[in-house]
Chain A
Amino acid sequence: GESVGLHLPTLSVQEGDNSIINCAYSNSASDYFIWYKQESGKGPQFIIDIRSNMDKRQGQRVTVLLNKTVKHLSLQIAATQPGDSAVYFCAENKRGGSEKLVFGKGTKLTVNP
C-alpha cells in the first residue's frame, strides 16, 4: 500500500550544525517528492521538491537527496538556525491522478542555541 514514513520522530541539534532528516517511502509509483516545514499554528510551508528523475536538488541552505533504489529521501539543512525549529514532513505524489499528496508523520527538529 502507499505510505510515507520517517525514521525518527524527533531530532535535536546545536545551532550551526548540519541537520539531516530522513524519510522512507514504499510506493514505487511515486515520482515527485516535497519537503514541508510546519511551525506551530501554521500550515505546511514548501521548502524544496524533487522529481524522480533526479538524485539531488539544492536550495538555499537545504539539499534533498533521493535514493530510488532503497526508496529513501533526506533533507539536509546546513548551518541550522533556531528559526529552523519546526516539524518537517516529507510528502509523495504518485504519477497521474489529481497529484494528491501523501504525507509522512513528521520529524520535530529542535535547534538549541
Chain B
Amino acid sequence: EPEVTQTPSHQVTQMGQEVILRCVPISNHLYFYWYRQILGQKVEFLVSFYNNEISEKSEIFDDQFSVERPDGSNFTLKIRSTKLEDSAMYFCASRGGEPKSPQHFGDGTRLSIL
C-alpha cells in the first residue's frame, strides 16, 4: 500500500538554526499538508498546499515557516530560525483530488530544539 514517507525521523537543532523537514507524499495525491503535535497534545494544522501554492495556513504558520514542492515528489517544511517552542512532532499528510477523501499521514519527524 502506498504511504507517505518523512525524513529525518529525528532532527536535533540548535535554537536559531534553520531546519528543513522532508516529505514524499503518495504519488498520485494532489493536496499536501503539514501538522504538528507537541508532546501529549493533539495534532494541530499548520498549512495546506495545492497546485504549487499555499491554500490555507494557521496562526502557528508565521513568517519563520515556509513550504515548497521543489520537484514532482518532495514536499518540504522549512523553519528559518528555530525557537525552543518549535520542538514537536511534525507530520506530513496528503490526499487525492476527490473532495472529502481521507488524508494519509507519514510517521513524522521529531524536532528537538536545544
Q: Which residues of A contact B (CB under 8 A)?
A: 31-32, 34, 36, 41-46, 49, 51, 89, 91, 93, 97-106
Task: Report whether A100 and B45 are in contact in the complex, using a CB–CB cutoff of 8 Å.
Answer: yes
Residues on B lying within 8 angstroms of A by beta carbon are: 4, 6, 31, 33, 35, 41-45, 48, 50, 55-56, 58, 91, 93, 95, 99-100, 102-108
Rounded to whole angstroms, the CA-CA distance of A61 and B33 in the bound complex is 29
Known: A43-B105, A93-B100. A106 touches B42 (CB 8 A): yes
Residue in A51, A97, A101, A105 whose CB lies within 8 Å of B103: A101
**Chain A residues touching B, majority SS:** strand
When chains A and B are docked, how far (Å) is the Cα of A91 from the Cα of B45?
11
Known: A98-B50, A100-B33. A34 touches B108 (CB 8 A): no
Q: Which of B35, B48, B95, B103 has the largest count of A CB atoms less than 10 A from its CB?
A: B103
Choice from A31, A41, A45, A51 contacting B105 with Cβ under 8 Å:
A45
Q: Beyond A32-B100, A99-B99, is A105–B48 a contact (Cβ under 8 Å)?
A: no
Asked if residues B91 and A99 are in contact (CB atoms below 8 Å), the reply is no
The 9 closest A-B pairs by CB, nearest first: A98-B48, A43-B105, A98-B56, A98-B55, A103-B43, A100-B45, A32-B100, A43-B107, A44-B105
Complex: A98 Cα to B103 Cα, angstroms: 12
